[in-house]
A and B are shown apart, each in its own frame.
Chain A
Amino acid sequence: MKKRDMNVVISWILKAGVIASAGLLIIGMLLAYSGINSISIYDTVFESLGVFALFATPVARVATSVAAFAIEGNKIYTAITAIVLMNILIAIFVVPAVLHI
């Protein structure tokens, strides 16, 4: 995969992620201040989803890099970016599990 193609893909993913995040967060804020109790309770759900969407943007960037380096046949950097991805996933799944034992 050419460097330029990878940059375009990553740029698109980041844009999508940031817009999705902002959208979800705004919906959450509107719900919180809507004054209609039956839908107000969903504010935290949307806000949390918005935060997760934001978290996803750098993760997606790293994951895309792993794929791009793999396609390119760059073994060392496929491994390196895979390690970075693994570290992030450890922070997301393993560390919290250990902390809450």
Chain B
Amino acid sequence: MIAIMYLLILLVIGVAAGFVGSLTGLGGAVIIMPALSLFLNVPIEHATGAALVATIATSSGAAAAYVKDKISNVRIGMSLEIGTTLGAIVGALLAAFVYSHNLSFIIFILFGVVVLFSVYPTLKKKDLIKRIKPDASTRIFQMHGSYYDRAEKKIIRYDGVRWWLGEGIMCIAGLISGLLGVGSGVLKVLAMDSVMKLPVKVSTATSDFMIGVTAVTGSAIYWSLGYIVPSLVAPVIVGVIIGAYFGSEKMESVHKERLRKIFTIVLVVVAVEMILRGIGVT
């Protein structure tokens, strides 16, 4: 393939990933990993390296572009990061083990399963304001907060609970991130929303910055193992930054909904493809 064409294709993949990533909160990795490993036949270690780095770009690119950061809860996010960073280190080391022992099929299958698991919550509907009593961990970890909800036009106060359980799930989320090169944003949102009882908007915004911190931890190890190829990731990252900027700011809500539905279908197809490749069918 002509070099320039290859570069442009990678750029376009990046833009799509950044766009979808900031729109759905899924992180660009779910687009990049399959696009590179299935369609461009990039070795899977390099594909996961590119996907993980792109996750940082989605996180920082979108955060730099918009105001959502004010809604995120820095304390809760940072305290949960203890778990995700530790998990990411373990996950990245596991990935090294898998690749060096020719067990890559595990990655394909797990990736497909994780994506399938991830699309399910994005189909879930409304966020009912749950009134739950603060527990001991609320006080210890200072998990109170408030934000101004533009839709409801009022300030919403909340308390997070069950920090310990949330932290445990975060360790798993970190491990998945380090192992598969994804952001694990959906699992993080799920933990904060369902387990720790935070408002959905807060969970989503907090997860958006968390995935970047988790991804950089895994990326550092990936870099030392040579999974991140500069000439491969360069156009992808630039594309993701562009895509994340437009995805976060410029879309009307109506169009967002329809796009989300289309992407859900695409992702399900992609997930199945990955699993099939893993079990040796394609």
Q: Does B56 contact A (CB under 8 A)?
A: yes
Cβ-defined contact, B220 with A95, below 8 A: yes
With A and B bound together, what is the CA distance between A15 and B216 in angstroms? 17
Q: Does B114 contact A (CB under 8 A)?
A: no
Cβ-defined contact, A80 with B79, below 8 A: yes
Interface of B is mostly: helix
Residues of A within 8 A of B213 (CB): 58, 61-62, 84, 88
Q: Does B224 contact A (CB under 8 A)?
A: yes
Cβ-defined contact, B231 with A54, below 8 A: no
Q: Does B4 contact A (CB under 8 A)?
A: yes
Q: Does B69 contact A (CB under 8 A)?
A: yes
Cβ-defined contact, A91 with B217, below 8 A: yes
Cβ-defined contact, B85 with A55, below 8 A: no
Residues of A within 8 A of B88 (CB): 91
Cβ-defined contact, A44 with B231, below 8 A: yes
Cβ-defined contact, A91 with B234, below 8 A: no
Closest chain A residue, CB of each to CB of B89: A91
With A and B bound together, what is the CA distance between A6 and B64 in angstroms? 14
With A and B bound together, what is the CA distance between A92 and B228 in angstroms? 14
Residues of A within 8 A of B140 (CB): 76
Interface size class of A (residues with CB under 8 A): 35 or more
Residues of A within 8 A of B13 (CB): none
Chain B nearest CB, measured from A4 CB (Å): 8
Cβ-defined contact, A96 with B224, below 8 A: yes
A-B contacts counted at CB < 8 A amount to 146
Chain B nearest CB, measured from A74 CB (Å): 8
Q: Does B108 contact A (CB under 8 A)?
A: no
Residues of A within 8 A of B60 (CB): 14, 17-18, 54, 57-58
Binding site for B on A (CB under 8 A): 3, 6-7, 10-11, 14-15, 17-18, 21-22, 25-26, 28-29, 32-33, 43-44, 47-48, 50-51, 54-55, 57-59, 61-62, 65, 74, 76-77, 80-81, 83-84, 87-88, 90-92, 95-96, 99-100
Closest chain A residue, CB of each to CB of B59: A58
Residues of A within 8 A of B224 (CB): 95-96, 99-100
Residues of A within 8 A of B142 (CB): 74, 76-77
Cβ-defined contact, B86 with A87, below 8 A: yes
With A and B bound together, what is the CA distance between A74 and B220 in angstroms? 29
Residues of A within 8 A of B92 (CB): 91, 95
Knowing A50-B237, A51-B237, A92-B220, the reply to whether A87 touches B82 (Cβ < 8 A) is: yes
Knowing A18-B61, A54-B57, the reply to whether A88 touches B82 (Cβ < 8 A) is: no
29 contacts across the A-B interface (CB closer than 8 A): A6-B74, A11-B63, A25-B235, A26-B238, A29-B234, A33-B7, A47-B234, A48-B230, A51-B223, A51-B230, A54-B56, A55-B216, A58-B213, A58-B216, A62-B78, A74-B142, A77-B75, A77-B142, A83-B82, A87-B81, A87-B85, A87-B89, A88-B217, A91-B85, A91-B217, A91-B218, A95-B92, A95-B221, A96-B223
With A and B bound together, what is the CA distance between A17 and B237 in angstroms? 13
Q: Does B265 contact A (CB under 8 A)?
A: no
Select B69's contact among A11, A54, A59, beta carbons within 8 Å.
A11
Chain A nearest CB, measured from B136 CB (Å): 14
Q: Does B219 contact A (CB under 8 A)?
A: yes
Cβ-defined contact, A51 with B79, below 8 A: no
Closest chain A residue, CB of each to CB of B96: A99
Residues of A within 8 A of B246 (CB): none
- B 203-226 to A, binary, CB cutoff 8 A, 1 in contact else 0: 000000100110111111101110
